[in-house]
Amino acid sequence: MQRRDFLKFAALSGLAVAAPREARAAVSPYGGPYFVFVSARGGWDPVYFCDPKPNDASKFNRLYQWDEGAHKIGNIPYANIPVSAAGLGLAAEADPYLMSAKDFFTAQGERTLLINGINTETNNHSRGVKTTFSGRGDRDYPALAAMIAADRAPEHPLSFISSGGYANSGNLLPVTRLNSVSSFQKIATPNLVNVGDPEGPTYHHPGTFDRIANAQAGRTMDLLADNSLPRIQRSANELYVARGSMELLSTVELPELVDLPNSIGDLERMMQQTQLSLAAFKAGLAVSANIELGGFDTHANHDNNQVRQLAKLFHGIDYLFKQAEALGILSELVVFVGSDFGRGKGYNGPGAADGKDHWPVTSMMVISGDPGLIGGNRVVGATTIDSQLPVTVDPSTLEVLENPDEGTQIKWGHVHKAIRNFVGIGEEHPLAQKFPIVAEDLPIFG
Amino acid sequence: MTRARCLRRTIGLFHKPALATVTAMIFAGCYSGGEVNEDTTATDGTTSLTTSVGEETTTTTTSDTSGDTTTDTDTGETTGEPGDCYSTLQFFADEVWAPSFSKSCIQCHDPTGIAAEKNAKFLLLPPVYPGFMEANLANIASIAGYEYDDVPLLIAKPLFLTEHEGGKLFTEDDDIYIAIEELLAQMDNPIECPVDTSGAKSFDDVDMMTPAETLRKAALHLVGRLPTAEEYAAVEGDGLDAMPAILEAMMTEEAFFERTTDIFNDKFLTDKYANNSTNAAVALLSNTDFPGRNDFINNVNMLTTAERIRINEAVAREPLELINYIIRNDRPFTEIITANYTVFNSDSALMYSADVTFENPDNKKEFQQGILTVPRGGVDMPFPHAGILTSPMWLNRFPTTPTNIMRHRARMVLDQFLATDVLALASQAIDPDAGSTVFNPTRNNPDCSKCHKLIDPIAGAFQMFDKNDQEKLLDPPQWYPEVFSPGYLNEAMPPDQFPYGIQWLAERVATDPRFALAMTYTVFDALTGIRPLHYPTNPDSEFYAEELEAWETQDVILRSIADKFVADDHNIKTVIREIVLSPYFRGKGMLMKPSPARAAEIAELGIGRLSTPELLADKLEAVTGYRWIRSDKRDYLGVDYKILYGGHDSDAITERLTTINSVMASVGARMANEHACTVTAFDFTRTAEERSLFPMVELTDTPDNGSAQAIKENIQYLHLQLLGEELAIDDPEISRTYLLFADTLQAGLTNIASEEESASLLSNCRATKDLLTGVDLPAEQQITTDETYVIRAWMAVVTYLLSDYKFLFE
């Protein structure tokens, strides 16, 4: 059995693994593709960006006019809502960091596969998040991001990064959080006294540092041999594996983190998470990352707050792609954008400051730096004009059907099964067998 | 039909009248929305649900010769044969619940299901509810006497002998039919078995810590220090019997309250507003309701940043300090939600404009009771204090909106104080089309009302607070006729209680048996790093039977602890003590290698919990004498590395990481390197008696000058001091560490000779100042060079031990 397969097997059994030190040093950089899962936390409103509806104050759009023929970028429909800091109650300094749906799809539409009309079967936050990002709400399944990382590079030190969103790793591999460049630099070179002076003094002579590491490894192996308490076996193994690749952390070239106005601190955090995740991808140490932007649970002031958060989200995702391009990894980037559920249907009151409540119909965007990978500029599924209900599709062609008694209503199980096939975790894969999803195959990715 | 395994549980429900009562209330409330049926005695006189009162649990304690094993076994009121006892409860769980009721019957017969809507008496709680299994058997006991044409209804319905909307579910040939018949037969005289409430039998293959080891772990965990000689002497003399008194004393130390602050902040997350902020908490307060805050916000008094952080923290910590006050004064822990007061120090009293008198206003550790008042209609209107539930910080941390109308807070009440994840009730798929056709769906659409029946009445208890301004008190309160009426379970809140609804609610929550369980779960998680297990619901799991056994064992032990908590007037220290003495805290190894199945069963037990950043920072000081701190005196692990090391910020990140990753391992390496550098030379500037690390050697001691034995003895001391390992001088681990020392020394001398390394110490590693006072050491006491390389060899040893598994993990 190859070492990598061995690690995968160990991950499946729920245990980390003690690989020989010489083998651990041979970890080669992971070259992509890289997967980012963006969570619009709280429940977004697709009607306000990718599933537009006619203006009707008594229904679900009081904000914008919709021309079905005109308001499209390629094949992607958009809600034509202009955004500005002043219009959204933000200081003018926030203007450069807001993006309308139109501008977003103008920039990213060619790369986007849009899935509308997903029946989430829940309007419960925790179950919604779990279902959106794991495929099942009735089991504590690992995040798809964790499964992909565990499948592709479980031994890499930053394989699955999550500083928000659904981070259940299912004990397949550890979760890593990143938040500070200066602190990361110091721990990436733990023996270096001054991280600003890479050639400067070290706490221990390199020979001593290695001697300590070897003694630690020997002692941990002996502990594992002598003590069979399951919790010790698991945690000592995890420590051993974690140590095995920590020297690679010094290969991460960290950027200077963005500094945004205080009024959009949440977007600053999202963009910083983006920077750190991309740096980890670039170094070949990470496979997948969770990134989150909150504030979408707009039970009140929906027409302002939902649009404001969407404008930040679009800027953040656009920034992700621009930065990936600057780092030369654009073509390897695949981004999944989802939320707890949708909002609606309709407003929860007649006033301008009213909101929209939870609605179990939503959308997902899959965006790839290599549009050919996913078939960009496509829309799958739809919702009804009058009721914002899921429309069925032909399971073979994905053509939207008029008769609701025919075809298939798209649910998260379908979407996740398609994504799993797309990323190489098909039904026969051990991870898919351990965490099965029972759903019809839909050719969402072609 | 075969017995699944040897079973150890008593039927329990006949000993838990309070639980049975609450369960009946849940059932009655959810089904009929009406009053509790006080008399559920069936026609044939089978056990009444609400009137069965058993004896108190009998406890026996035995100690083995080493004094390190305490066995609590509930032997009261058991009817089964000892040794091979198979209780009725277990029979129900194995043969009826698992194969059938949990899959088919519960679809309609859960508290908000279709059967419930039609007032069916046969009701089943899902595993979301703590104690669901006992409650379900109690319900069956209450209806066992109902018959149709001489056939028990529990059989007649699913056989479709009489009307049953679920249709025919099985035949007389099916195993489940036979199992239900057997269960009903046992109902007349339920089999009850002794209960292993200590885990002594359940974990008889697990090697437990000695009393001294238990003491060390408890001291480091609870008060961040090593045990005293007197404490060690006590456990060496009396074994674990000495522990309760020692723990009791520890739980009066100031450091203990820092620990409880962390424990309960992990739950309530109100430190979101502390976090070294100069105004995050104070800025939440209304400038008209709490005018004392205005000068602070405008910094009229030109306070320093440090003063502003201190004052803001006093406001942010108000709910956590209330909890500490309750613990410190040995008050019933129910007061965390029932106290009709809160506590202030002089800083928070000023911000809240509270009328409180202090013995010494300069002592910011002095907390006094007081009440919040706000101006309404020209008079001061008092807050309807209900512990932390009315804390402005808690109210802001769990905010509401005009359409959420307090449901978020209701969910938090269920989660934080009743161990009930109400969102998990929503297990069935929602049909968006169906929901859209129903008027007022939260009441009238079963998909929605399933949860709202439980949530909305609790939400109504918070109606005296504004839906936009989180802590603003309304006069009068406001509720909504289209929403379920305020109440708790089946009990409606009298309208005259609406202004004090939270107090009314808190009194009921505090007496709900789930409150004791919730508090037990919180402490258990905090002290062991083990999340209380959920009832396993995936029978396809490879080790389903073992997962079930693990849940049952843990459930019995934690319930037993919760019972003791209640019996001891809700003293939270009792819970802490019992968990410290439990196998979950004390397991340290296996007496024999476990099979894969057994390993799955005891996967979450004993040592191996990754220390939190806060615990690790305290431990470092406890064993070396010094903290790992920045130039501003704050802990590196509390600031720079808090998130990287898996901590949370009570805000965007609210969960701790429990699995070590490469970044965390690197933090450990950095910590060990920096701290070894800082403390090693300095320790040698002190007299041998004063030293934390090197009391048995001098800088002149090397392997080459006949000091090998002294060096090994100091290494032996370091293994005990830093890792708690009591090793013989010839133990291979002593040899490994000695070899590290000797090889490092030899290589270093070679490097100095070849000028690859300097004879001087790095400036960071020199001993020039007193680490505790910051005062320069006398020149003759300073250590700046290391010609013999002895200091650096010891640095290597200290680094090695400070980054060891047994240091990083508890």
What percentage of chain A reaches a pLDDT higher than 70? 94
Question: Mean pLDDT lowest for which of A413-427, B113-127, B552-566, B633-647?
Answer: B113-127
pLDDT-derived band of residue B48, with 50, 70 and 90 as boundaries? very low
Express each pLDDT in A373-401 by its tens digit.
Answer: 999 999 999 999 999 999 999 999 999 99
B737 close contact with A: CB closer than 8 A: yes
Give me the residue label for tokens 């489940």.
B176
- Give the CA angle between residues B154, B158, B163 to the nearest 5°: 95
pLDDT at B451: 82
Q: How would residue B68 be classed by pLDDT, with cut points 50, 70 and 90? A: very low
pLDDT reading at B193 higher than 90: no
pLDDT of residue A36: 98
Q: Is B593 on the interface with A (CB under 8 A)?
A: yes
pLDDT digits (tens, 9 = 90+) for B614-663: 999 999 999 999 999 999 999 999 999 999 999 999 998 899 999 999 99
Rounded to 5°, angle at Cα B271 from B294 and B333: 110
B646/A231 Cβ within 8 A: no
Beta-strand pair A160-162/A288-293: parallel
Q: Which of B451, B593, B648, B805 to mutate to test the interface with A (most CBs of A within 10 A)?
A: B805
In Å, how far is B724's CA from the nearest CA of chain A?
A: 15
pLDDT number for residue B437: 66
Output the pLDDT for position B428: 64
Give A140-171 pLDDT, tens digit per residue. 899 999 999 999 999 999 999 998 889 999 98
In 3D space, the residue among B764, B763, B762, B718 whose CA is nearest the CA of residue B737 turns out to be B718
Q: What span, in angstroms and rounded, lies between the C-alpha atoms of A48 and A51?
A: 7
* Chain position carrying tokens 């291979």: B732
Q: Which of A176, A187, A345, A389 to mutate to test the interface with B (most CBs of B within 10 A)?
A: A187
* B715 shares contact with chain A (CB less than 8 Å): no
**Minimum-distance CB partner of A180 among B644, B740, B744:** B644
Instruction: Sort out which chain A residues have CB atoms less than 8 A from B431's CB and list them.
Output: 121
Dump pLDDT digits (tens) for B558-610.
999 999 999 999 999 999 999 999 999 999 999 999 999 999 999 999 999 99
DSSP state of B36: -
A118 burial level (CB within 10 Å; 0-12, 13-18, 19+): buried
Cβ <8 Å between A232 and B608: yes
Hey, are the CB atoms on A211 and B744 less than 8 Å from each other? yes
pLDDT in the model for residue B434? 65
pLDDT digits (tens, 9 = 90+) for B315-366: 999 999 999 999 999 999 999 999 999 999 999 999 999 999 999 999 999 9
Torsion of CA A369, A375, A378, A380, to 10 degrees: -120
pLDDT in tens, B759-801: 999 999 999 999 989 999 999 999 999 999 999 999 999 999 9
3-class secondary structure for A355-390? CCCEECEEEEEEEECCHHHHCCCEEECCECCCCCCE
Q: What is the DSSP letter of A70?
A: T
Q: Nearest chain B Cα to A219, which residue? A: B733
Pick the more confident residue, B58 or A313. Answer: A313
CB contact under 8 A, A229 and B206: yes
Looking at the complex, report in whole angstroms how far the Cα of residue B425 sits from the nearest Cα belonging to chain A. Answer: 10
Q: What percent of chain B has pLDDT over 70?
A: 89
> Given an 8 Å threshold on Cβ–Cβ distance, is B673 in contact with A123?
no
pLDDT over threshold 70, residue A17: no
- On whether the CB atoms of residues B410 and B458 are closer than 8 A, the answer is yes
Q: Flag whether residue B676 sits within 8 Å of chain A, measured between CB atoms.
A: yes
Question: Does residue B369 carry a pLDDT above 60?
Answer: yes
Q: Has residue B1 got a pLDDT over 70? A: no
- What are the CA-CA distances from residue B252 to residues A411, B246, B348 (Å)? 55, 10, 24
Spatial neighbors of A100 by CB under 8 A, at least 6 apart, are: A81, A82, A83, A311, A314
Count Cβ atoms below 10 Å from residue B790 Cβ, excluding itself: 25
* Whether pTM exceeds 0.90: no
Q: For residue B576, give the amino acid letter.
A: I
pLDDT for B71: 44
Q: By CA distance, what is A348's nearest residue in B?
A: B403
B712 vs A: CB within 8 A: no
B395 membership: H or E segment, kind and range: helix B392-397
Cα gap A260→A269, rounded to integer Å: 9
Mean pLDDT of chain A, nearest integer: 92
| Residue from the list A183, A219, A229 with its beta carbon closest to the beta carbon of B589 | A229
Q: From residue B755, give the alpha-carbon distance in Å to each of A192, A295, B758, B759, B765.
A: 20, 60, 6, 9, 19
What is the distance between the alpha carbons of residues A267 and A315, in angstroms, rounded to a whole number? 9
**What does the pLDDT average to over A290-304?**
93
* Chain A touched by B754 (CB under 8 Å): no
User: What average pLDDT does range B189-193 have in this prediction?
Assistant: 90
Q: Is pLDDT above 50 for B293?
A: yes
The phi, psi pair for B76, rounded to 5°, reads -75, 140
Least confident of A7-21, B90-104, B231-245, B592-606: A7-21
The kind and range of the H/E element at B278 are none
Q: Which of residues 202-231 of B touch A (CB under 8 A)?
A: 206-207
How far off is chain A from B398, nearest CA to CA, in Å?
14
Residues in A closer than 8 angstroms to B432, CB to CB, are 119, 359-361, 389-390
User: pLDDT for B261-283, tens place per residue?
Assistant: 999 999 999 999 999 999 999 99
* pLDDT at residue number B195: 83
User: Does the bond joining A33 to the residue before it have cis omega, within 30 degrees of 0?
Assistant: yes
Which pLDDT belongs to residue A2? 39
Chain B residues with CB-CB distance to A381 below 8 A:
none
Kindly indicate the confidence band of residue B425, based on its pLDDT and cuts at 50, 70 and 90.
confident
pLDDT tens per residue across span B668-699: 999 999 999 999 999 999 999 999 999 999 99
Residue B734 contacts A where some CB pair is shorter than 8 Å: no
B589 vs A207: CB contact, 8 Å cut-off? no
Under a CB-based contact definition with an 8 Å cutoff, are residues B13 and B20 in contact?
yes
Residue B44 has pLDDT above 80, yes or no: no
Closest CA of chain B from A111, distance in Å: 30
Is the model's pLDDT at B747 over the cut of 50?
yes
Contact A337, A367 (CB under 8 A): yes
Q: What part of B 433-492 touches A (C-beta under 8 Å)? A: 433, 435-436, 451, 468
Rounded (5°) CA angle B250-B655-B450: 110
pLDDT at B63 > cutoff 60 = no
